Each structure stands twice: as structure tokens, then as C-alpha cells.
Amino acid sequence: MSQTVSLSGLLGGLFEPLHSLPGVGPKRALLLEKACGGPRVLDLLFHLPDRVAERRRIAHPSEAAADVDSVLQVTPLSFRSAMSRASRRYIEVRTGEEVTLRFMQSNLGWIERLLPRGESRFISGRIRPEGEAWSCISPDVAATEEALPLLEAVWTLTEGLHRGHMAPAMKAALERLPDLPEWHDAPLMRREQWPPFAEALRALHAPVTRTTAKPWERLAYDEILAGQIALGLLRRRRRDAPGRALSGDGSLRHQALAAFGFPPTTDQARAVAEIEADLSAPHRMLRLLQGDVGSGKTLVAVLAMLQAVEAGAQAALMAPTEILARQHARTLQKLCPVPVALLAGSVKGAERRRVLAALADGSLPIVVGTHALFQEAVDFEDLGLAVVDEQHRFGVAQRLELARKGADVDMLVMTATPIPRTLQLTQWGEMQVSRISQKPAGRQPIATRLASGARLEEITARMAAALERGERAYWVVRAITGGDHDDSIAAETRFAELSERFPGKVGLAHGELEVEVREAALSDFATGRTQILVATTVIEVGVDVPEATIILIEQAERFGLSALHQLRGRVGRGEKPSSCLLVHSEHLSEREKERLLILRDTEDGFVIAEEDLRLRGGGEALGTRQAGQALFKLGLRGEEDSAAERRQRELIEMGAKDAELLLQRDPDLTTPRGMAARVLLRLFDKLDAVAILAAG
């Protein structure tokens, strides 16, 4: 308790609401919260600037340097609202100095107030040649030259919030910073030449000299180390948690392998052996089984569940969608020599009552289902193993809800999204990992090609020829219906058009259809009653039609690489050659083209996952946010993105080793450095880890 009180006293000012800062009223606090992503003073301090602007005053736009922000006096003359090629609205301001200003937002009135027509204002930003004139994207604006200092932090803002609001609020927040104990080793601090925590924040938010990379690195490593210590404590809790041995005699597994008809690959056999050893040991298993699309994870899961059943326990497999749950149920019913039932939202009435009663009295050894498995009405006689498929689609809390359905439940989580080492060390670091890289014998390579949407008529004609040869094709789009504010191709629109072209041969599957209707569409496609299935990403997992040889993905540049790779895995499952056509919009950016070429050039999901992490971000470690957002709040920034990414990976490797060594020497964090590490955990909201320490 005393440790909790001392932490609260030391850090209390940082956890107060933003409106507690002088000059910040409720309305401005809401704007600041929107910009920094949290309601506390600490959230504001962790809203690091995108960069530190170094400005140079110029008298004419021709004097502007390409790599330095320039300060220039301008006179606004005209305003117009426009739309970018990416369908994003922006405001364009023409000035008397031949500089066109572009603001990436839609509030014309706010821009007109910021830059009154005919009145002199000062702007700061990167001024670049554009034809015979110049342009500047999203410049800072001030009424006086003095308001744009030559050295200044530049933060990401939100509509209605400008630099004049952020700077004084940040100054007040910095004044709240207490003197904190140092949680890093002194030799590391000397070697890396890192400043103390508070000094690093001040150097970035209120620079007085030119900023080096050291404050960025220091703060990025703080967050990394906090995550690694938290994961280390979670691993210790798992290791120390009581468990039970689920050994079995191998009889049911032998029958399942005979029904499968093929020997496991080397990678499958290794994963099976690792899981068998975990289940047989008297501690609780928490293992991640990761494997590329079509690598054969389901067989490994089946053998694990049958081992639990051999030992007298029950096993459950939870999938994120009913489509995937039904696919798993069909597979398990073919392979397992014991009863297997489905429990999902569509299972109602007498069948639902039968399944629930059989789980409760133990006569049903294996169940496959969705979120329905951890509802209050579901009771197991003796749940010994819980398998969670496509783990990234569930929250940690949902996973634990299923585990609470039994005593000392072993847990196996599976993902077909290959996980880069960076994420293994952060988001998945509390688990043991088994990896399947090989594909089972007989899987066909998939020829991947890129094509412009302008060639859609030609593509459709070629598909007609493929249908004449008896082939089947998926046609994937992003949206279900069209919208006024989204130019995504809609599934219902494409279905209507293709049905007119190929009457009676086209089916439709998307997430808003009734389960029975969607299942009927999938069944028609699987049996060949239809030859084209128009679908959204609802088919990304759980759909297995070996006869399908073509997948066309429209507006492919708008999907993540891992999603595209998963979708591509719907074909190549039979004996015939298969192809994947990535149909992109006519005007591709270089970045978008680079991403799609990665898919064209490799089928290695682990390579693709690394590139997806590099290009899009990897979600929030130990949190709920998914790909496309920053992996860390305080991640490194830099003009050379690849260099910053390499350095961040180095820091993650360092943090993993540092945390392991610290917890070996001081497992309860009671030494001076350990107590400082408790402060670090509290700063970065690792409350689970703090609770583990408080519980002793």
C-alpha cells in the first residue's frame, strides 16, 4: 500500500485532467484530448512533436531551401475548396506572393478567419517550386513574425486547435514534471548519451538548441522497456500459475492422423511435439501457434484437443466468425473419432439446449464456436484446453473469459497472420511460440499480377473465358453498399453487374447477410452451382474451396498487405494452377505501387508481414489497436524512415534483454533500480504488471 501511495504522490500531477492546467478550460481540454489521445496531463506530455522546426526568414519564395522551414510574409487573395486524388477535401489559398497554400482539412470558414483576405500574415513551412510559382502544404500561420521562432516544436493538431493553444498548455504540463528516479543503468545512459526522462521531454517540447536524436531514443526506449518488464512479469505469473498434466495415450490422435491421410510436415511435427510437452507438464500452457496461409495449423490444433480428451478433459475451439467456426467444425467432425458440436449465434432451440447439456455433463468432449462459447449460460464439466483461432481478432479479455470456463485451463492461440519478430517481442512476448513455415504437399503456387481498373472490361472478358473452361473465381471488394462519402466499389453493385453479365452464375457473400443466406451462397460456390462469388473480406478466413482457381481483388491498394495475402490464400488449394489479380485504381502513388509489388514478388507471409509492419504500423503493443497505427506512442521519427525503423528494432532487442536481466536479478523490483522501474510501469500504464507486483 505504501508503495502505491508513494507512486501516487510522486506522479499525481501527471495523472490529473487536462482542464487542471492553467488557461485550459473544458472546451480546450476536449480539443487537446482529441489531439493527444487521452484526458490526462501525461497524455499531453506523451504527445511528442512530429518534428522540431528550424526556420529561416526569407523575403521572397525564391529564397526558400528545400529542407528547411521558411518564414514568409504573405497576403491572402482567394480561397477555394478542392478534392485530392485520394478523395480527401482540402482548402487552397492563393496569395499575392505567388505562393499557393494548401490546408488538408474541410473547414473553409476557419481558414478564412486564420488568413483574413487582404491582410498580411506570416507563414512557416516547406515552400517548394510549383510550375512558375510556389506552394506550401499546411503551413503554420501567425499575425507577427515574432510568433514564429526559429526553433520550435511542431505537433499534430486537430481542427479548432492551433499552435497558440498547444504551446502554453505544453509549457504548463512540463512544469508538472517531478524529479524522477532513473530506471536505466548508468553504463547504458553513458554509452547511449541519453538525457534524463524529464530533460528529454523538455528538449523536444520546448527546444532551446538544435535537437539531436538522443531525446527521441531515450523516450522510445522507456516505452519499450516498460512493455518488456510488464511482459516479463506476465510470463512469471503464467510460469508460477498452477496447472495439470494432460498426457493421454495417443489412441485418438492415431485415429485422427489415419483419417487425415498424410504425414505431418516437419514443422507440424515439431509444433505437435512442443504442444504435447506443454500439455503433459504440470503447469498452465500459453502457446502461440503461428503459420502462414494453408500451413496446416488446424491439424496441429486437432491433435492437441484430442490429447486433452484422451486425458479425460474437454476441449473448445473459438473462432471470430461463424463462417470460420463452421469450417473448423466440419474439419474436426471428419478427423475426430469423438463427438464434435458447433455452438454459435445461429444454433438455437433444441439443438442449442442439447449442446449446452452435453457440455455440462461431459458427454460432449469437443465444441467449436464463436463468442457464444464464453457466455454465462455455457458450462463445461471439465474444460482442459481452449484453442483460440485468429487471436488478433479477439481482445485479451475475451480470451481470458473462455479460459475461466474451467480450472487451470491450457491455452493455445493460433494466427494465420505471420508475426514479425518485433511484434513477437512486444504484443506476443508472454507466450511460447511454435511456428509452421512449410506448406503441406500438394499446395500450388499462385501467380500474382497487377492490373489497372481501367482494364476491367478486358479482365471481365478473360474471366468469361475461364468460366467457359469450368473455373471458379472469387471477386473481392471492400464495401457492402455504396455511400456518398466513400468511392469504394460496393459488393451489391458489383454483384448486380456481374449477374447481368453471367446470369445464374454469380453468388454474393458479405457480413450483413443472414447467416443462412451467406452459408447458402458459400455452399452454392463450393458445389459449383455458381462460378463467381462476389464477397467482402468475410471470406478472408474459414473458406476452403479447392476448385476455386482465381481471386480478383478490386481497389487492392486500399487493403493491408497481410489481408491481401490472406485473401490470396483462398486459391491454390487444389490441383490446378491458380492466379490472384490485384486490380488497383488508375492513379497509384509510388508508395501504393511499392506495397502491391511486394505481393507480386513473394508468397512468403513472414516477409510480407515484416513489410506490412514497416509500411503501415503494427498496432498497439499490449493493447487493442490493430495494424495501421503506431506500434508505440513514443516511436522514433525521422526523415530517413528506414533508419528510424532499424534503430527502433535495435531498441526492442535491447529492451527484451535488459528486462530479462533486470527481472533475473530483482524479480520483485525491490532494489533502487527496481523501484524506479515501478515508476516506469506506472507512467506507461502497465497496470497489470503493477497489480502483479502489488499481489506479491
CATH number at residue 121: 2.40.50.140
431 and 466, same domain (yes or no)? no
CATH of the domain at 527: 3.40.50.300
pLDDT for 625 equals 34
335 closest CA partner among 284, 264, 273, 396? 264
- Give the structural domain span for 581: 446-616
Among left, alpha and beta (phi > 0; psi -120 to 50; other), residue 593 is alpha
Of the pLDDT bands very low, low, confident and very high (cuts 50, 70, 90), residue 539 is: confident
Residue 131 has pLDDT above 80, yes or no: yes
The whole-number pLDDT of residue 151 equals 86
Q: Phi and psi (nearest 5°) for 620?
A: -95, 120
In a domain, 25, yes or no: yes
Q: Are residues 365 and 257 in the same domain?
A: yes
Contact 205, 216 (CB under 8 A): no
Do 401 and 516 sit in the same domain of this protein? no
pLDDT attached to residue 628: 37
Which is higher by pLDDT, 566 or 468? 468
pLDDT, position 594: 85
Task: State the amino acid at position 186 in one-letter form.
Answer: A
Q: Average pLDDT in the 350-373 region?
A: 93
| Among the ranges given (430-439, 457-466, 567-576, 666-675), the one the predictor scored with the smallest mean pLDDT | 430-439
Q: What is the largest CA-CA distance in the chain?
A: 87
Tell me the pLDDT tens digit for each residue of 505-517: 999 998 888 878 8
If 0-12 CB within 10 Å is exposed, 13-18 middle and 19+ buried, where does residue 609 land?
buried
Give yes or no: residues 374 and 403 share one domain.
yes
Q: Is the pLDDT of residue 228 over 70?
A: yes
Q: Is residue 218 part of a domain?
A: no
Residues 432 and 314 in one domain: yes
Instruction: Pick the last residue of a domain from 120, 154, 188.
Output: 154
Residue 450 in any domain: the answer is yes
Integer Rg of the chain from CA: 29
- Same domain, yes or no, for 268 and 299? yes
% of residues, the chain, pLDDT over 90: 48
Picking from 601, 616, 631, the residue at the C-terminal end of a domain is: 616
Q: End of a domain among 552, 585, 616?
A: 616
Pairwise CA distance, residues 155 & 178, whole Å: 23
280 and 354 part of one domain = yes
Say whether both 502 and 551 belong to one domain. yes
Provide the pLDDT for residue 675. 93
Choice between 268 and 621, residue whose per-residue pLDDT is larger: 268
Coil, helix or strand for 384?
A: strand
Average pLDDT for residues 614-642, to the nearest whole number?
Answer: 48
Asked if residue 464 and residue 335 are part of one domain, the reply reads no
Q: What is the pLDDT of residue 106?
A: 74
pLDDT bucket at 2, cuts 50 / 70 / 90: very low
Is residue 688 domain-resident?
no
Cβ pair 472, 484 in contact under 8 A: no
Q: Where are the alpha helices (DSSP H) in 349-470?
A: 349-361, 396-403, 421-424, 456-468
- From residue 59, give the alpha-carbon distance in Å to each of 73, 74, 125, 139, 543: 7, 10, 14, 16, 64
Place of cell 481470458: 400
CA 510, CA 34: separation in Å to the nearest integer?
33
pLDDT tens figures, 409-434: 898 988 876 666 555 555 555 577 88
Is residue 225 in a domain? no
pLDDT for the residue numbered 494: 92
- The CA dihedral of 193, 198, 200, 204, to the nearest 10 degrees, is -170
Give me the mean pLDDT over the 233-262 stretch: 85
Share of the chain above pLDDT 70, in %: 86
pLDDT of 626 over the 70 cut: no
Residue 383: the pLDDT is 94
**Secondary structure letter of residue 334 according to DSSP:** H
Residues 25 and 133 reside in one and the same domain: no
Q: Say whether pLDDT at 483 is over 70.
A: no
Q: Which residue has the higher pLDDT, 340 or 563?
A: 340
Question: Cα 391–397–403 angle (5° rounding)?
Answer: 80
For the stretch 275-316, pLDDT in tens is: 999 999 888 888 888 887 777 889 999 999 999 999 999 999
Mean pLDDT within 111-131: 93
Residue 619 has pLDDT above 60, yes or no: no
Higher-confidence residue of 444 and 337: namely 337
Least confident of 135-149, 236-250, 631-645: 631-645
Average pLDDT over the chain reads 85
Looking at the 3D structure of the chain, how many domains does it have? 4
Residue 259: pLDDT band by 50, 70, 90 thresholds?
very high
Name residues whose C-beta falls within 8 Å of residue 236's C-beta, 6 or more positions apart in sequence: 663, 667, 692
Helices (H), 617-694: 641-665, 672-683, 687-694
Please indicate, yes or no, whether the overall pTM of this predicted structure exceeds 0.75: no
Question: Confidence band (pLDDT; 50, 70, 90) for 630?
Answer: very low
121 domain residue, yes or no:
yes
Look at residue 656 and tell me if it is in a domain: no
List CB contacts of 43: < 8 A, sequence separation 6 or more: 18, 33, 36, 37
Q: Say yes or no: 68 and 165 in one domain.
A: no
- Based on the domain organization, do 274 and 306 belong to the same domain? yes
What's the angle, vertex CA 327, arms to CA 548 and CA 443, rounded to 5?
A: 45
Average pLDDT score over residue span 94-113: 89
DSSP-assigned letters across all residues of 498-527: HHHHSTT-EEEE-TTS-HHHHHHHHHHHHH
pLDDT digits (tens, 9 = 90+) for 153-209: 889 888 888 888 899 999 999 999 998 999 999 999 999 999 999 999 999 999 988
Ranking 204-213, 228-237, 596-605 by mean pLDDT, the lowest is 228-237
pLDDT bin (cut points 50, 70, 90) of residue 618 is very low
Tell me, yes or no, whether 205 lies in a domain. no
